[in-house]
Structure 1
Amino acid sequence: MDKSENGTLIVKIICLLLSVVLWLYISNVENPLRTYELKGIPVELTNEDSLVDSKFAIVNKQPFTVDLKLEGPSSEILKVKKEDFKIVADMSAYALKVGENTIPVQIVSYPENITIKNNGMLGIKVNLEELTQKELTISSKVKVTYKENIYEKEQNISPKTVTITGGKSSVDKVTEAILTGEEKDVDKNKQGDYNIQFIDSFGNAVSNIESNIKTAKLSITVTNGKTVPVNLKTTGNVPQGFVLDGYELSKNNVTVLGDSQILNKLESIDTEAVDMSSLQPDSEVDVKLNLPEGISIGDGDGSIKAKFKLKKEENTTKNIECNVQYKNLSDVFLVTNQSLVSNVKLSGTQEALDKISSQNISVILDLANVKEEGTFDYTPQATLVNANNVTVSDVGNVSVTIKKKG
């Protein structure tokens, strides 16, 4: 660095020092008057109880502030803070209305040697609305977990209701009063006090609400329990022309509660018998559970829904070979066939046909009209015995050889 640059730097430093010395002299020795605007000084509302007496509430209550224009010696101005000022607005001193109200403020205290230039025109704007009340039933949203094989028997809340007070816009938003909190691994009866929270229809907390109580007592009663399968019981048959194509239960397993000695012997729960003959296609019926004495259901009202799928049964056919008996043959003739067999075709549902054999079919050939020897084709008559939902659709011919005796 050359000498000329060193000289320039020294001059700059000297100028800076002289400026600081001059500022200190003016501020501390000359101490001239100075103006300054201090923003956002809090305003305290007094006599707010008068709003309640007049059935008013502040809309979306927020902190109120004013801006002050100050004048004073520089040394004093430099020291002022918001905390040095106490400013109040008396809510009982003026006639109020629903909507926007301008409330003058009073400066109770402020630093000495400071002048407030805008003291005579200070005020805050306060929006008021109707003060209303609403009673709500308290519900529990306390998150509770239980130890294995321990189940909730019931919950009780005391008191059951809470009364809220506030501005109409806030009170109208509240849809639920809920208890909040958490309990883990509960294994015995328990009770405790929980905070009450007020929420809207979207689950958001609503503020600016006062309530007659802040907490409520939640009592949790527990019992032993286990999960067992459900056995559907039925009686009768599905209506004629239909077959059961399956069923669905709303619950294949249920949680049962009760004494541990009874629970240990319980492996499943039967339903009351469903009358299958009364079912319609795609029927859904409420079915009660047959609960042993001393046993209750932990997750329902003691019944389940059963949905039955019925489908229309289509007819099919079945061929059965049957021995043919003959009758009314004249005494002068005889049949030389060792045996007579006819193929009988049956129609009916598959379920009904599966039950039919040759034992259920009587096949008779009437030979009363035979007048001469020869071989003839005849169609015998087939009759069903003890056969439901089955008909004879065709009977095959038989070939009969006739000869005279002697």
Structure 2
Amino acid sequence: MNRFLSNNLPWKIVSFLLATLLWFFVINSQNPILTKEVKVPLTIRGINELEAKGYVLQNEEELRNMQVRVLLKGPRLDMERLASDNVQVDARLDLTQYANMLTNEDAVSIDKTIKIPVIISTDTIKAEDIRPKDISVIFEREKSTTKEIDYNITNESNSEYAALDPILKPSEVTISGPESAVERVETAMININVDNFSEDVLSYTIPILLLDKEGQEVSGLKKVPEYVEVTLPIGKKKKVELVPQFKGMLPTGYIQTNLIVNPKEITIVGKPDVVDQITSIKLEKIPLDNIIQSNTFRTDFILPEGVEYIDNIESKANVTLEIQKETDYSYKINPEEIELKITGIPAEYQYTILDTSVDVILASTAEKLLSFDLNDLKGTVDFNTVKPFVAGEYKIPLQLVVPEGFKVVNTPIYLNFNVEKIIEDIPPPEDEPIDTPVEEEVVVPSEGE
């Protein structure tokens, strides 16, 4: 057995060498080492940490637009996987460590040269060369300021609406970024093309441009907002009241004592036939169910189609509801002493109120109840529901109108009436003259006749 193995040992060695040579042949012929140049965007990390220290990247826009050229080297099969995204190549610029070293005592602008690291998701492919190998990163102290937005109108001479002033919402922009760039900004400008507006298109959204003294755009700055809504007041203008709306009811035991709307009114614009029909603009409904204390709500305007508002304000109103815990108090009221309106009694009838007083329980705040004047009460009684109408006694509901901030608790309240038909006095006929017979004069003859 051992002789057999010893006789085959040379053949085994020869076979192993042939297999090794064959493996090297296949590797070099079928999966050779290749090189390939790729371009990858530069990704930046640590911006938030930088801003937290009060700094920004002065050349951030330039860095974000940069393409890093990487010469890769690796087996052909692995290199082919680059196209299918199975292998990732990233050029990462991590600024976190530099941001952590910055302090308020540092210079306004700091220029650092940082090496660009390239990360490849496989170990079989290497980066042979990187261009650029390093880059200049400029840290600059951040500055923020607010600018009034100016405007430039184009095609004005060709438009019938050229003389009208545009309304900008908002009218200011907040800009922030590197201090040197912010200080270059002379004007915040929008370009208004009048051809974009008509009676059907009253508003248009336009981007804000930041310009220096020479009228050149300053880029790389943050703008809040980035766009302005421009309204040209084309059509009929009209001032209308803002009317709040509510849904639900206040919880039991609470009462509204005051209502303040700010602004009270706005100016709207639109086609005359539409604007003429509008007397007020309603606000979005405010739910009352869970309100137990005074609150201010921001509510949107509900604008009809084809109508815009042209005030330099947000499309919201502040509605303040003053709420207080309520109490109640019972009053004895003489119906004859309040302003009472009686309707539904035919003209040929007259009425008499049988009640000398009625109990009315009012709910409000203690302060209002103490100062309440009974002369402020008004009431109505409607006999129109009485069919057929005849003379007699009636018990009719009294509808009380109380001042704002009060409510009637004990409803319904009834009044008792006695209704009688009016009987006209007929004067007696005048006495006819009585014919009195005329006594004939009797002549008594005298003696001697």
What's the TM-score once normalised by structure 2's chain length?
A: 0.37
* Structure (1/2) with the larger strand percentage: 1
What's the TM-score once normalised by structure 1's chain length?
A: 0.41
